[in-house]
Structure 1
Amino acid sequence: MQTAEIRRRWLDFFERKGHTVVPSASLVSDDPSLMFTVAGMVPFVPYLSGLVPAPYPRATSVQKCIRTNDIEEVGKTPRHGTFFQMCGNFSFGDYFKEGAIRFAWELLTSSEDEGGLGFEAGDLWVTVYEEDDEAHALWRDIAGLPEERIQRLGKDSNYWSTGQPGPAGPCSEIFYDLGPEYGVDGGPATDDDRYVEIWNLVFMQYEIAEVKSKTEFAVVGELPRKNIDTGLGLERVAFIKQGVQNMYEIDQVRPVLDAAAQLAGKAYGENHADDVRLRVIADHVRSGLMLIADGVTPSNEGRGYILRRLLRRVILSMRLLGVEGPTFDRLFPASRDAMKAAYPEVERDFDFISRTAYSEERTFLRTLAAGLQILDGAIEAGRDASVGASGAAVPGDTAFLLHDTHGFPIELTLEIAEEAGVSVDRRVFAELMQEQRDRAKADAKAKKGQRADLSVYKELRGLGETAFVGYDELNHESRVLGIVVDGRPAPSAQEGEIAELVLAETSLWAESGGQDSDQGLIVGDGFEAEVLDVQRPVPGLIVHTAKVRIGTVAIDARAETRVDPDYRRGATQAHSGTHIVHAALREVLGPNAHQAGSYNKAGYLRLDFTHGEALSPETRSEIEEISNLAVRSDYEVVTREMPLDEAKALGAMALFGEKYGERVRVVDIGGPWSRELCAGTHVSGSAEVGMISLISESSIGSTNRRVESLVGIEAFRSFAAERAIVQQLTGSLKVPRLELVQRVGELAAQLKAAEKTIARLEAAKLGERVPELAAGAQRIGPFTAVTASLGSVGSADDVRGLAQQLRERLADEPAVVVLAGEASGRPVLIAATTPSAREAGARAGALAKLGAGVLGGGGGGKDDLAQGGGADPAKIDEALAEIRRALAG
């Protein structure tokens, strides 16, 4: 049974049972505490927790999920994957344990001809929480399972909670027995791989508090509305129904594995280490495909870093299989074809997906080449020099540098080193890795402590959805429904306090869709509050953070929201300007230039877009001109509300990876010239935007660029400031405006020539010291050594040139030259050696590194010539003394 067919049967079954079919949410989670959607229940948390009233009594979904906490286990076990699909059925105060168990048993054991999954009852085991007699009895009565196949387990495995005070409850898990050839008898309680968990039923029925750990908490009572949250692992069911050994061999994953094996010239199933790498490749390519399809692009932080790590692990695994060139052009199309039946968007958006992936591969292959040079150098140095105390030729800090900076897993470093016949200091590497983990853990803990407790908004959201009326009116009278002070509900807020105010309606825009929140006031009888921020902490609820300037604001008070008209005008100019710049970008660069994010506020806009190379000055000017021509043309700006499908049929552009509801707002500027889905505030005609001035264009990743622009009065002020600067320069240089660039160029050329002359004279002056310095050479051990402080010097190049001249003067001797000086307030040190000195054991790189350590910096280089630096010129004499002691030893 194909994976897409299992998915279809799941949705059809629960739809027949009265569940609303909810499409999969994005892999990018709305929950601020989560980077990705990590479980099928994540999109339903506001309903399960009661934070937001559920729009339906029961629902079902097949949710895309990403988890990377067990990434090192991928490929080694039958069921660890970074991307997986969780089938779920949910009840929000509707059916409970009996309904959930009855549905699960019917779907699993009904024949395939009847639309079920066709499992044999004799192959299924269940576990229940050890104190849940009700669930135990239901499984016995509904499923007819014998007592020995209903096992009771403790809180650590069969009790669900978020780890925080709130909803919790026992759960029941369903397992499939693979058979005696896979392990020992005894059921899931044995924790043996023979028993595969395929479905978990969570009975959310209690409120818990005083949470100390997963198993230590206090049950304070039953929930007024009991909920059901279940999750069936689609990939796990698929590998059982398809008769294969693991999730990497199912129809949605195996084609990538086969493509990788063919590229590497390997036969899957012949070598365990190669098989693990092939599974890693198949899993990570699919995860990369789905993440990019949901708008994630590679970067060095957050979600983009996770994607980058997955893609780089693919490249490194292919390299360990012997493939050094590009492979994504074979692997990603294979994954696309395997996934498009379930997710058509991967085929529709494959142009963007492939360009993003291929660009990342090209970039990392170049990085990999640079890292290999470092490793080759460390191996060569390890061969030539005596190894460290650990007996390893490649230092642990070098292995860590390769891992942390260049993305080399330690396995790759070990394999290359082993082929070269040298070892790696694993102990130091492990210590550095642990230090990094400790820092990351401390950072994550700190961030977790900063997250807001959204439960404070639960009752407020229950009072109804906050209506935004600011499209049509800037001032609106409403009523205060709730007040939050210092994270807790309060009956009032006093003068001088900062509070969060929730009103029934508001004319103040809450930050969203790239548009910053409005500025303004909330005023009422005897009070006035200045609005500092407006946000939507949970769907449907608008919260105003405000400082009470006058009087006291209380619950149920009448309150008028007043938007600052100048700020709103600037914000609408910037938001409409964002649409105009986006349209101009696409007109110049082509339809592949998708918007990938934006931010705008009064007088300023920032637009991120997909493009692989920097914009030339001519292209920037063209985009700016088209944007301002659109402003001059005074295009009509029309906003309409309509169903999402209708908007897409009209060609309305959606922000790549963004989520939209069933009804959307479409904004047209000049008809189809700019037609986008957007809920923000806009001008009524493009001429109202005023001037658009592009002030910067930069890279924010291998496939993304960013433009920034000033808009309206801010653009004018910027031009006025530049005009004043030009006037000052023309006055000072006494040239007409049109000749200013030429005159500045001439002055720059004259300055550069003067600097070269000065540098030449200073170098010549230093060169005159060669005889004096050579005459002062000392005999230190087997070496003829010149170690001298030069005082103030022009640059490191001057010191290097002098050291090389001295080395030539002493070429017939085992000479070591170490010179140091102060350049631009910082110490610089150069070491040089002759061939006979190197034969006697002197290494310029090691000497430069030693001296630089005393100077508070770093250094190194080749054995014949090296450089070091630092922060403290006062320690130059001490550094030279340390080098002399090393030579003597």
Structure 2
Amino acid sequence: MQTADIRQRWLDFFAERGHTVVPSASLVSDDPTLLFTVAGMVPFVPYLTGLVPAPYPRATSVQKCIRTNDIEEVGKTPRHGTFFQMSGNFSFGDYFKEGAISMAWELLTTPEADGGYGFDRDDLWVTVYEDDDEAIELWKKVADLPDERIQRLGKDTNYWHTGQPGPAGPCSEIFFDRGPEYGIDGGPATDDDRYVEIWNLVFMQYLIDDVQSKTDFRIVKELPKKNIDTGMGLERVAFIKQGVDNMYEIDQVRPVLDRAAELSGRRYGANHDDDVRMRVIADHVRSALMLMSDGVSPSNEGRGYILRRLLRRSIRAMRLLGVEGPTFRELFAASRDAMKSAYPEVAHDYAHIEQLALGEEETFLRTLTAGTSILDLAVSKTKDSGRGQLAGDTAFLLHDTYGFPIELTLEMADEAGLAVDRAAFDTLMTEQRSRAKADAKSKKKVLADLSVYADFRAKGETIFTGYTELSTASTVLGLLVDGRPVPFATAGQTAEVILAETSLYAESGGQAPDQGRIVGDGFELEVLDVQKPIKGLISHTVKVTSGEVGVGVPATTLVDEQYRRGATQAHSGTHLVHAALRQVLGPNAHQSGSFNKAGYLRLDYGWNSALSAETRSEIEEISNAAIRDNLEVVTREMPLDEAKSLGAMALFGEKYGEVVRVVDIGGPWSRELCAGTHVSTSAEVGMINIVGESSVGASNRRVESLVGLDAFRRFASERALVSELTSSLKTRPDQLVDRVGELVSSLKAAEKRIQQFEARALNDRVPALAAKAVRTGDVLLVAETVGSLGAGDELRSLATSVRSQLGDAASVVALTAEVGGKPVAIVATSPAARDAGANAGALAKTMAGVLGGGGGGKPDLAQGGGSDLAAIPAALDAVRSALRG
């Protein structure tokens, strides 16, 4: 039974039993506490917890999931996968235990010919929470299971909760017995690979608090509306039904494994270590493909870091299989072909996905060789010193300079029989992050714990009127101060305000929140931020500038008209620049992110090389030509499938509901799905002035532009600058470039002549300095200060020239100078002086210590410095004393 068939049977079965089929949510979770969607129930958490009213009584889905906490186990066990699909059925106060158990058993044991999975009843075991007698009786009633195939287990395995106060309940898990060839008898309680968990039924029936751990909490009461949350692992059922030993060998994964074997020339099944590497590659390539299809790009932070780690572990595994060249083109194509029937978007977006993957591979292959050399050298030195731990600063260097994830360094060190000083590495990482955060203070206010919004959301969705109105009369539904509900807020306080309606745009889709005010009888609030803390609810962070605002009073939202005009110009301008990029570069220049606010736009797009000045000008000209042509801007709402059929662009990685808003500029010239605010005609954008283009990672570029009046001001300031330069240089604007070029050439020629003059002047000083050599101990010593110099290199050159002037004699030259207001010392020694025991590095260090600094170097030439110019005579005396000694 193919994986796609298993998936479709699930959806058909539950759809026939009154469940709403819900498409898989993105792997990028809406939950701010999660990097990824880690379980099938994650998109339904607001409904299961009552935070948001459920739009249907029962639902079913096959949800894409990513988990990375067990990444080290990938390839080593039959069931650990980074990307996996969780089939789930959910009840929101509808059916409960008996319904969940009955439907699970029916689907599993119904013959394949009748639409079920056809499992033999004798191969199935169940576990229940040890105190859940009701579930045990239901299993006996529904499935006629004997007592020995129903096992009671504790809270650590068979009780579910979020780790926070809220809903919770016992679980019942269904296991498949693979047979005695896979392990010992005894059922799931043995925790053996023989028994594979395929389905988990969560009976969400209690409210808990005082949560200390997974097993330590207090049950407060039964929930008035009990919920069902279940999950069946699609890959686990697939490898059982396809008769293979693990999830890496199923139809959606095996093609990548086979391609890795073919590229490496090694046979799967011949060597355990090679088998693990091939399974890692198959898992990670598929996981990376699915992450990138949901808009994640490789980076050094958050989700992008996880993706980068998966890609680099794949490259590393291929190298351990003996393949040092690029392989992603073949591996990703194999994964695309295996996954596209279930997820057509991987084929539709493949050009962009491949571009990201190949760019990351090219970058890492370049750095891997250099980084590996450094690591190999560090490993060798560590072993030679008799230590068993690689230094933390070496691991940090590999991470910071060569892009090695710490996990890769840990793996490679472990292969060499070494540990890594992880504590020292973490300290260095913390220091680096602290430095970065010191310069990046965000204006964003921390929103309250999401649970406090449940009562507000239960009153309905916040109505946004801002597409057509800048002022809206509303009512204050709630107030929060420091994350807690309050009856009123007074002058000087910062609060969150929940309204029934608002004309103020909440930050989303790359558009910054509106600026404005909220006013009412006797109060005025300055709007600091507008956000959507949960689906359907808008929260306004405000400062109470006067009066007192209370819950239930009338209030009017007032959008700053000038700011909104600038914001709409910038958002429509983003669409214009995106259309121009695609017109010039082609469809692969797909937007991957954006940010716009009044007067400014930033657009990230898939591309792997910098734009030439000519290309940048062409994009800018096309954008401004669209403004000149005064194209009509039309917005419409329609079903997502209809919008896509019209050619509306769904931006890479963005999430959309079933009904979407389509923004046309000039008809199909620019047609995108977008919920932002826009101008009525393109002429209202005013002007586009592209001011920057840069790299933001492998195969991703960023273009920045000023818009409207801000764009004009930049042009005006540049015009004033040109006018000033032409006046100063007494030339015409069209000759300015040539005139500046002439001046630069003249300046370079003058600098060269000055350098030649200074070199001759320094050379002229050599004989006089050499003549000052005096016998000191066993050597001739020149210990002099030469005044002020422009650079330390000049002092170095002077010292080596004096040493040469003294010929084969045992000589030491110790010179000091003032460079940039600080003392610098250079020591040069001849071979004969070194034979006599003189060491330039030691002498430079001695001088630097007197000067209040540090220094050192090689025995023949070394440098030091400090901060105390007055100590120069004492530093020279220190050299004389050292040599006499």
Q: TM-score, normalised by structure 1?
A: 0.89
Q: Deviations over 1:282-304 (max 9, x none)?
A: 11111111111111111122211
Label 1:626 to 1:415 Cα distance change in 2 as closer, same or farther (>3 A): closer
CA contact (8 A) 1:33 1:451 kept: no
Per the alignment, residue 544 of structure 2 pairs with: 548
Q: CA deviation at 1:549?
A: 2.3
AA partner of residue 56 (structure 2): Y
CA contact (8 A) 2:507 2:531 kept: yes
AA partner of residue 707 (structure 1): V
AA partner of residue 503 (structure 2): S
Per the alignment, residue 508 of structure 2 pairs with: 512
State which of 662, 665, 690 in structure 2 corresponds to 1:666.
662
State which of 450, 457, 468 in structure 2 corresponds to 1:454.
450
Per the alignment, residue 527 of structure 2 pairs with: 531
The answer to whether the aligner puts 1:312 opposite 2:312 as a matched pair is yes
CA contact (8 A) 2:28 2:37 kept: yes
> Quick one: distance in 2 between partners of 1:726 and 1:229?
68
Per the alignment, residue 228 of structure 1 pairs with: 228
State which of 614, 619, 629 in structure 1 corresponds to 2:615.
619
Per the alignment, residue 706 of structure 2 pairs with: 710
Per the alignment, residue 158 of structure 1 pairs with: 158
State which of 598, 607, 617 in structure 1 corresponds to 2:603.
607
AA partner of residue 42 (structure 2): V
Label 1:51 to 1:828 Cα distance change in 2 as closer, same or farther (>3 A): farther
Q: Deviations over 1:331-365 (max 9, x none)?
A: 11111111112111111221111111111111111
AA partner of residue 143 (structure 1): A
Per the alignment, residue 3 of structure 1 pairs with: 3
Q: CA deviation at 1:722?
A: 2.4
- Secondary structure of the structure 1 residue equivalent to 2:518: strand
> Quick one: distance in 2 between partners of 1:773 and 1:387?
48
Per the alignment, residue 239 of structure 1 pairs with: 239
Q: Deviations over 1:656-700 (max 9, x none)?
A: 111111111111111111111111111111111111111111111
> Quick one: distance in 1 between partners of 2:191 and 2:850?
57
| 1:344-359 correspondence to structure 2 within 5 Å | 344-359=344-359
Per the alignment, residue 502 of structure 1 pairs with: 498
> Quick one: distance in 2 between partners of 1:785 and 1:107?
95
> Quick one: distance in 2 between partners of 1:144 and 1:440?
61
| 1:35-54 correspondence to structure 2 within 5 Å | 35-54=35-54
AA partner of residue 546 (structure 2): I
> Quick one: distance in 2 between partners of 1:157 and 1:848?
67
AA partner of residue 628 (structure 2): R
> Quick one: distance in 1 between partners of 2:843 and 2:49?
64
CA contact (8 A) 1:396 1:427 kept: no
Per the alignment, residue 56 of structure 1 pairs with: 56
- Secondary structure of the structure 2 residue equivalent to 1:268: coil
> Quick one: distance in 2 between partners of 1:759 and 1:271?
66
State which of 395, 398, 405 in structure 2 corresponds to 1:402.
398
Q: CA deviation at 1:54?
A: 0.9
- Secondary structure of the structure 2 residue equivalent to 1:202: strand
Per the alignment, residue 330 of structure 1 pairs with: 330
Label 1:387 to 1:343 Cα distance change in 2 as closer, same or farther (>3 A): closer
The answer to whether the aligner puts 1:248 opposite 2:244 as a matched pair is no
Per the alignment, residue 424 of structure 2 pairs with: 432
RMSD: 4.1
- Secondary structure of the structure 1 residue equivalent to 2:661: strand
Q: TM-score, normalised by structure 2?
A: 0.89
The answer to whether the aligner puts 1:135 opposite 2:174 as a matched pair is no
- Secondary structure of the structure 1 residue equivalent to 2:533: strand
| 1:670-749 correspondence to structure 2 within 5 Å | 670-749=666-745
AA partner of residue 31 (structure 1): D
> Quick one: distance in 1 between partners of 2:582 and 2:641?
23
AA partner of residue 454 (structure 1): L
| 1:98-137 correspondence to structure 2 within 5 Å | 98-137=98-137
Label 1:54 to 1:881 Cα distance change in 2 as closer, same or farther (>3 A): farther
Q: Deviations over 1:181-214 (max 9, x none)?
A: 3223222222222222221111112222222222
> Quick one: distance in 2 between partners of 1:866 and 1:324?
41
Per the alignment, residue 96 of structure 2 pairs with: 96
Q: CA deviation at 1:148?
A: 2.4
Q: CA deviation at 1:428?
A: 5.6
> Quick one: distance in 2 between partners of 1:529 and 1:112?
64
AA partner of residue 612 (structure 2): S
Q: CA deviation at 1:743?
A: 3.6
Q: Percent identity?
A: 70
CA contact (8 A) 1:530 1:549 kept: yes
CA contact (8 A) 2:785 2:816 kept: yes
State which of 441, 459, 464 in structure 2 corresponds to 1:468.
464
CA contact (8 A) 1:320 1:412 kept: no
Q: Deviations over 1:639-672 (max 9, x none)?
A: 1111111111111111111111111111111111
Compare 658-667 and 403-412 and name the one that shifted more: 403-412
CA contact (8 A) 1:312 1:407 kept: no
Per the alignment, residue 562 of structure 1 pairs with: 558
Q: Deviations over 1:689-730 (max 9, x none)?
A: 111111111111121111111111111222222233333334
Q: CA deviation at 1:492?
A: 1.9
- Secondary structure of the structure 2 residue equivalent to 1:538: coil
- Secondary structure of the structure 1 residue equivalent to 2:424: helix
Q: CA deviation at 1:83?
A: 0.9
CA contact (8 A) 2:447 2:533 kept: no
Label 1:822 to 1:230 Cα distance change in 2 as closer, same or farther (>3 A): farther
Instruction: Could you tell me which runs of 5 or more consecutive residues in structure 1 were left unpaired when the two chains were aligned.
Output: none
AA partner of residue 667 (structure 1): V
> Quick one: distance in 1 between partners of 2:873 and 2:134?
82
CA contact (8 A) 2:395 2:425 kept: no
Label 1:452 to 1:370 Cα distance change in 2 as closer, same or farther (>3 A): farther
> Quick one: distance in 2 between partners of 1:90 and 1:879?
81
AA partner of residue 49 (structure 1): T
Label 1:877 to 1:158 Cα distance change in 2 as closer, same or farther (>3 A): farther
- Secondary structure of the structure 1 residue equivalent to 2:475: strand
AA partner of residue 35 (structure 1): L
> Quick one: distance in 1 between partners of 2:364 and 2:881?
43
> Quick one: distance in 2 between partners of 1:429 and 1:688?
59
> Quick one: distance in 1 between partners of 2:517 and 2:474?
13
CA contact (8 A) 2:313 2:408 kept: no
- Secondary structure of the structure 2 residue equivalent to 1:91: strand
Label 1:759 to 1:115 Cα distance change in 2 as closer, same or farther (>3 A): same
CA contact (8 A) 2:390 2:419 kept: no
CA contact (8 A) 1:397 1:428 kept: no
Per the alignment, residue 19 of structure 1 pairs with: 19
The answer to whether the aligner puts 1:756 opposite 2:752 as a matched pair is yes
Instruction: Could you tell me which runs of 5 or more consecutive residues in structure 2 were left unpaired when the two chains were aligned.
Output: none
AA partner of residue 424 (structure 2): L
CA contact (8 A) 1:851 1:880 kept: yes
> Quick one: distance in 2 between partners of 1:441 and 1:4?
44
> Quick one: distance in 1 between partners of 2:884 and 2:378?
26
Q: Deviations over 1:125-184 (max 9, x none)?
A: 222222222222222222222222222222222211111122222212222222223223
Q: CA deviation at 1:593?
A: 0.9
> Quick one: distance in 2 between partners of 1:641 and 1:415?
51
Label 1:428 to 1:64 Cα distance change in 2 as closer, same or farther (>3 A): closer
Per the alignment, residue 172 of structure 1 pairs with: 172
AA partner of residue 205 (structure 2): Q
Compare 559-568 and 21-30 and name the one that shifted more: 559-568
- Secondary structure of the structure 2 residue equivalent to 1:40: coil
State which of 627, 630, 634 in structure 1 corresponds to 2:626.
630
> Quick one: distance in 2 between partners of 1:499 and 1:628?
42
AA partner of residue 8 (structure 2): R
CA contact (8 A) 1:637 1:686 kept: yes
CA contact (8 A) 1:639 1:667 kept: yes
| 1:162-311 correspondence to structure 2 within 5 Å | 162-311=162-311
